[in-house]
Structure 1
Amino acid sequence: MTSTGTGAVPSTMRASVLTGPRTLTVQEVPVPECASDEVVIRVAAVGVCGSDTHYFRHGRIGDFVVDAPLILGHELSGRIVAVGTEVPATRVGERVAVEPQRPCRRCRQCRAGRYNLCPDMEFYATPPVDGAFAEYCVIRTEFAHTVPDTLSDEAAALLEPLSVAITTMRKAGVVPGSSILIAGAGPIGIICAQTARAFGAARIVVSDPVAERRERALRFGATEVIDPLDTDIATAGLDVDAFVDASGAPAAVMAGIKAVGPAGRAVLVGLGSSEMPLPVEHIQNREITVTGIFRYTDTWPAAIHLAATGQVDLDALVTGRFDLEHAPEALESDLDPAGLKSVVYPVSAPASVSAPASAS
């Protein structure tokens, strides 16, 4: 392993470890070993995702169950400080955004280019694989994407949720002039609105029952907003080309699909019920394609371009900043409707780091 000229990578590091429901403790743990095709990254910033909060509060997401101590966090950026023997030493010192997954490269899905569906995938912060609420992490060299210095550490970390939005727009078939309905104005819904605009959508309708979130959506790309408690979206005559659910609410999914016009598409993104009713007659009669997304494949180049050119503003999404000791507060910050995206700094937090009370 080749390391930075300023000293070897230490054998241990500080990490925030999930040890029980709503229980995180900062511990000294071993630095992950670096394989020959991997790089070691000193973590700069880690975004908090809805999956992190699910594991924190409930200890599971579907079949993924936390049954041992786990390090959360999979939206991250940092700097390469060491490389494996197969990786050029010139990579040491690069600022990177991490695509937090390790597919097998051999299965049918990987060979078909759908490595996100690899049955043997190892994904950050998904039991039993540790994530990035830690000072160091390792990743295969091809999944450490070099970012320009014009991107902040925060923006580089948030290329991960932007990748979710890019995958969503691709599945939704959004092209210049398209119309789209997005249910939910949380972090993913807002990033989807921005990304739809970047893809050329002419009409971007966002629905959310919270007024503050609707107002925020208008600042981030929505051309109009709807309160689903006041307007029946299913019968409002929207007739959009695409519907994206970023809420996970069965009622929103049902109404959103009914708002899709002939030959349109519906993409389910939000974490919701494992089973829910669908308007099958509407889907059949209008030949609507209904699909989901599971992570992403080959999205970081597009994400870097959209962020670096200002077509998507990731820095503006950050509403809370926390150091490692206050990771629990970061994971509870989604309870504040004024909050959008919180970021954890495992090594050194900026001067503007949030006080714990900001998440209450």
Structure 2
Amino acid sequence: MEPGLAFLLPLFMGLLQPGRGGRLEVEPPEPVVAVAVGESRQLTCRLPCAGPRAASVQWRGLDTSLGAVQSGAGSSVLSVRNASLSSAGTRVCVGSCGSLTYQHTVRLLVFAFPNQLTVSPVDLVAGRDQELACTAHNITPASPDVLSLSLLLGDQELEGVQELGLEEDEEPQEGEDPLFQVTKRWLLPPLGTPPLTLHCQATMRLPGLELSHRKPIPVRHSLTSQETRVTTSLEAILEQNSTPSPGGPGNSPTPGNSPTPGNSPTPGNSSTRPCHPEIHQSPTPGGLELLCEAACGPGIAVHWTRAPGDLAAYKKREDGAQAWLSVLWAGCNPEGWFQCRLDPGGHTASLYLLPETCSPPMSEALWMGSLVLGLLLLTVLTYRLWKCCQPARGPQGPPAPLK
């Protein structure tokens, strides 16, 4: 290199030095940042700039839900408070140092994953093939690459199960954020001897984050042949004592007429299929009555959990597997979702009612005024018809003289 050029190169680099800057520093540094619905998060962006001139840094968004931004000398802080699904989107930090400009892109992912797992049936019986359903409620995103449901025995997946299908349904919500319920069903092999507990595990895998919830499923003993025989005999005895005979009161069982294992019916196994409630509606004077019921055997109950407006404003009555809800003036009822839930099991049924065209009731004074006006119009019309029906008469002169 020529001596002159060697002397000028450091000077030339020195002239450029004040305009140079480092790379943008973003916290957290991941390109995708996950935040739960209702939580808050801060994104901080900094740019070091050599020389006396401070860098200009600013967060910008590609949508309308940018959040609260506070920018100062060389840094900018984006605060997302009480995150909703509409808060998700792309954020861009733009920084400039002299004539150089930098940018860093972050995608904000908002998710919902509450610990709301339900299973049906709530317990299992050893030594029997049976079907099981596990449901995760109020979640998003619900895609299979994000959410998975599995059955665990201890810390290992249960072997020998047959998957029966995966269902995804949108759950009704008051707000704008759509949330989902995901149900997975399995056919289980005969389980071993209790004490034994399975778990349904829901796992959500997001960039840089993995969450999971578990729901225990106890396994109880199956009835032995001796227990079945005793149970059947007791059921037959109680039924015989409670049913009067044609000749009088029920006969007491004797060794000759007691049921035997050979001719007594075996108790029916309770269904292992998931139980779902149903909502029926029927008109009533001045309103509408909704009935939520579940024909799933003993030990269950249904409850109303949601109605347009305030649920406490409705008249309701709940009795085990049936629950009634009265909606007054159904023609003017508020638009929205009615929902009831099954316990145990957690399955829900929903009904959406649309308001119909209705008019306010007519007051008594207005009704009487309308009646009087109608009578007057009828009188005038009758008089005019009577006048029109009379024969026409000409003018009468003096009588002609007799000849």
Relative to the length of structure 2, the TM-score reads 0.20
The structure with higher relative contact order (CA 8 Å, sep 6+) is 1
